[in-house]
Amino acid sequence: MVAHSLNTASTVGIGEFRRQPGGAIPSDQASIVWAMGVRGFESRLEQAVEGAFSRVFKSTVKPVEFGRKLEREMDNNRSVSVGGSTIVPNQFSFMLSAADREQLDPISQTLTRELADAAREHARDEGYAFVGGVEVELITDESLRQGVLRVEGAFHESDGASPPGSLRLSTGDRVPLGEYVVSVGRQNDCTIVLADPNVSRHHAEIRPTSTHFEVADLGSTNGTKVNGVKLNAPHALCDGDEVRFGNTAVTFEAS
Residue 245 reports pLDDT greater than 90? yes
Which residues lie below 8 Å from residue 97, measured CB to CB, with a gap of 6+?
A: 140, 141, 142, 144, 145, 146, 147, 148
Q: Find the mean pLDDT for residues 215-242.
A: 95
More reliable by pLDDT, 126 or 58: 126
**Are 97 and 59 spatial neighbours (Cβ–Cβ below 8 Å)?**
no
> Does the pLDDT of residue 242 top 50, yes or no?
yes
Residue 13, pLDDT above cutoff 90: no
Confidence tier at 16 by pLDDT (50, 70, 90):
very low
Helical ranges in the chain per DSSP H: 27-49, 51-56, 63-76, 98-104, 108-126
Output the CA–CA distances (angstroms, integers) from residue 21 to 1, 141, 188, 217, 232, in the order listed: 7, 34, 17, 23, 30
- Which of the four pLDDT bands, split at 50, 70 and 90, describes residue 229? very high
pLDDT at 1: 33
Residues 139-160, mean pLDDT to the nearest whole number? 89
Residue-averaged pLDDT of the chain:
79
